[in-house]
A and B are shown apart, each in its own frame.
Chain A
Amino acid sequence: MMKKPRSATTLAVTGNDTRNGRAVFRTPTGAWSQDVSEAEVAESKEAGENLLARAEADARQTIVVDPYLIEVAAEGDRLVPTRLRELIRVSGPTIVEIGDAAALSRAA
């Protein structure tokens, strides 16, 4: 039986939307989504590099800024970034924001 290599990682590619700056993830259709669970994943280093190359082409087309690979883990049917930094990019600040309620709910 083949053992899964210990360092096996699942990768997705992220960047920021050029127009509004929001954290986005490249999906299998080539679109970019704010929902990490819609991201295309790569299971090998080579597949990751390939994914990143496509993202960099999008960056040259001014769609996203500074794309890079992140590690994600599947949790049920969701994808969750493994690093805290990326988790915060996905789920927002870990603190209470004191903005006025209307503005907070509108611009989430």
Chain B
Amino acid sequence: MAIFRNGTVLDHDSWTVVAAGAPVPAEGDIIIALADFIAQRDALLGRVGPVGVAVEAGEELDDIVGDLPRLVLVALRFPKYTDGRSYSKARLLRERHRYGGELRAVGDVLHDQIPLMLRCGFDSLEVTHEPTLRALREGRVRGVTVHYQTSAREGREAAPNPARRWLRAS
């Protein structure tokens, strides 16, 4: 497993994933399941170390929306790469709720979906698939770089033709 962040594959990650229902370590960066976060919200937000929340594909964002400014990381799961719910949730976090922390795609993260994930606002990816990691390391994950829609990357994509207002190039 490795983390792809800001264009680089990192073999070490500061975040520890706390198993569902397991005790929360006092120190360190932790990612905690949504249900556990809700149950221990006050204690977690009073904790010294950074807290991230992992949201499953079928879970709603409602319970974390108010706490987003204090969440350093949100992880959205792709249980199968064909399950596209987390794309919509990523956009909602970035564009509606103005979430500015790290937005991580976890689960079945593969080569050909990565360009879409990045456009929907993910800025880190947890990757286990070896050929995908290789392609990321070699800079082969490009996708199509011109787009017919704006995305969660407004400001970081060029608008090549002002007459066609929604065209973008990454």
A and B touch in the complex (CB under 8 A): no
**Which residues of A does B touch, CB under 8 Å?**
none
**Which residues of B does A touch, CB under 8 Å?**
none
